[in-house]
Amino acid sequence: MREVRSVAVIGAGTMGSGIAQLAAASGFGVTLVDVDLGLAERGCANIERRLARAVERGQLTAEEREQALARVRPAAGVDAAAQADFVVEAVVEDLEVKKATFRALDALVGEDVVLATNTSSMSITEIGAATRRPERVVGMHFFNPAPVMRLVEVIHGYATHPDTVAAAMDLARRLGRTPIEVRKDSPGFIVNRILIPLIIEACKVVEEGLATAEDVDTAITLGLNHPMGPLTLLDFTGVDVNQYVMDYFFSEFRQPQYATPRLIRELVRAGRLGRKVGHGVYDYDPATGRRLPPA
């Protein structure tokens, strides 16, 4: 396996820029790639803002911030990943888009380069099958926000070679994360396999009029000691993203506990996609992003 000194991150959104920040702060050269240079530059600007806040909080020195920023370059198009030692894909959670991305990467990077997908739920096997090197394709699921959350799920596809898994586990450790190995390719892996039914049941409790969204979240945070209630988490991760994942789960498992609740479909139709747009289950202050009290 190739020694990893440089990482290409494909997709400069919230997850991609977070992974790029983590890699740059850990000493890796990073190419942050998106379809448009402006999007990649926006991702770099977000990294710069987050690192500035880390300096303000005393988590980083000003020199460390500058060194990390110097290691990241924005770029347009997957061709920019051609010389990378390791690639992490973090594009939109759409299986066909991911497969197209991996086909393009497969034709570009060296044969000894690992292609990792940050998908939270999709099939590693199917993504790998879109390439000529399924043995070098692995799941590497970071959690949001990537610079803060310490867990990385490393997932086998059907054809993933043990050396590929070992390389992904090693990179996660070098990034200061705690990797866990998911030995079979199954929708949602570990965390989302457990989390998605929790969010679905929380929605059903509200739909059935058992409790308000606020009381459901209070029950889970205080009763189960979760740091965030399931409906607050729904807004945080994106209502539309959750709908896509739930629909994928149901298409794979064909079990009623994975069916997308009516509440989520109604929120998506109303454009209430969560905190990112200022409205979801809850409303948010556009200036601060903080949740507003119920009307």
Q: Which residues are catalytic?
A: 120, 141, 153, 192
Measured between alpha carbons, how far is 255 from 117 in angstroms, rounded to an integer?
Answer: 26
Sign of CA dihedral 279, 280, 283, 289: negative
Measured between alpha carbons, how far is 203 from 264 in angstroms, rounded to an integer?
Answer: 8
Any idea what DSSP says for residue 284?
A: B
Sign of CA dihedral 265, 271, 272, 276: positive
- DSSP three-state, residue 153: strand
Instruction: Provide the Cα torsion 158, 156, 141, 119; round to 10°.
Output: 0
On the CB side of 7, how many CA atoms lie within 13 Å of its CA? 28
